[in-house]
Structure 1
């Protein structure tokens, strides 16, 4: 196993039994069996490790979605949720450690490429959507990710058309 992967695995293991704030670089390095210099060559902080893992999950999602032939809103949502479900334990751990805010940052960075040549209106729409995906995922995590991605994808695809009665009353 490469050093980077060992460091990620070690932080996740430590977060299962220790408070995030209490975990030190020394703890991670010792468990990963790497030098502190190796740690700092790969990561700036513990948050950077989580960010790296989330980015790899998003890369996995993108590879999966790009292989789909039916690129509907429902397929898009189902694929992202199926990908997240594969990493259920990690997502629950970072949420329980109050680090799930990093997911929102990763989503913004990940979909940021879409924003480069967009109008103000499109930029706001993308940010609105990112917030929705993030909070939709947090709600799912808080329900122990019990609901199936297929069911949630249908709900997610219908949200924009069905939310008006709740917002306007």
Structure 2
């Protein structure tokens, strides 16, 4: 999922809208945030919002897409993929963005993260399948393992996101089946 070149002004507007939405989500219920209020908080007009997004959820997808892409880049840079290293890369990103994920959780929007994550599963599967330890794993095994990651993430968030990425990676590397260890 390659990023296409985008107008720098459009990128800046999108970032302002994202920042404004996250700020508003700190203050009030997601469903109570109007597009007009969001655009005003971003210092833009509603037309600018609608030129870049159709819904508030799409604004959140922008952030989630960036996080998914960052995870792929981190995995591609690893000299060796193991249960520990892929878990650590994942939870490093989650920990660095814990406020964002806690906001999603507070507003019952975590399913949006799962939707975006699932869009990236084919790319992740390709990364894993190129590794000899994963060649014999079916797409169903990989999806199953992704579901485990997701449930651990939800539990971690519900507990306040207290464990470090290293602690979570150690936990995941003990429960992920061979040959991931």
Aligned position for 2:154: 138
For the pair 1:73 / 2:66, whether they are aligned, the reply is: no
Matches within 5 A, 1:140-159: 140-159=156-175
Distance 1:160 1:80, change over 3 A: closer
Using the TM superposition, give the Cα deviation of residue 160 of structure 1 relative to its aligned residue in structure 2, in angstroms.
Answer: 3.8
Aligned position for 2:5: none
Structure 2: gaps (5+ residues): 1-10, 130-136
Aligned position for 1:28: 38
* Length-normalised TM-score, structure 2: 0.81
- Root mean square deviation of aligned Cα: 1.9
Query: Is this contact kept in 2: 1:104–1:134, CA < 8 A?
Result: yes
Structure 1: gaps (5+ residues): 162-169
**Number of aligned residue pairs:** 158
Query: Is this contact kept in 2: 1:107–1:130, CA < 8 A?
Result: no
Q: Distance in 1 between matches of 2:151 and 2:22?
A: 22
Using the TM superposition, give the Cα deviation of residue 155 of structure 1 relative to its aligned residue in structure 2, in angstroms.
Answer: 1.1
Q: Distance in 2 between matches of 1:114 and 1:134?
A: 14
Query: Is this contact kept in 2: 1:104–1:131, CA < 8 A?
Result: no
Structure 1 runs of 4+ with >4 Å offset: none
Q: What SS class does the counterpart of residue 44 from structure 1 fall into?
A: coil
Q: Distance in 2 between matches of 1:67 and 1:52?
A: 23
Q: Distance in 2 between matches of 1:26 and 1:112?
A: 37
Q: Distance in 2 between matches of 1:38 and 1:112?
A: 33
Q: Distance in 2 between matches of 1:60 and 1:114?
A: 12
Using the TM superposition, give the Cα deviation of residue 65 of structure 1 relative to its aligned residue in structure 2, in angstroms.
Answer: 2.4
Q: Distance in 1 between matches of 2:122 and 2:21?
A: 27
Aligned position for 1:100: 110
Q: Distance in 2 between matches of 1:113 and 1:62?
A: 8
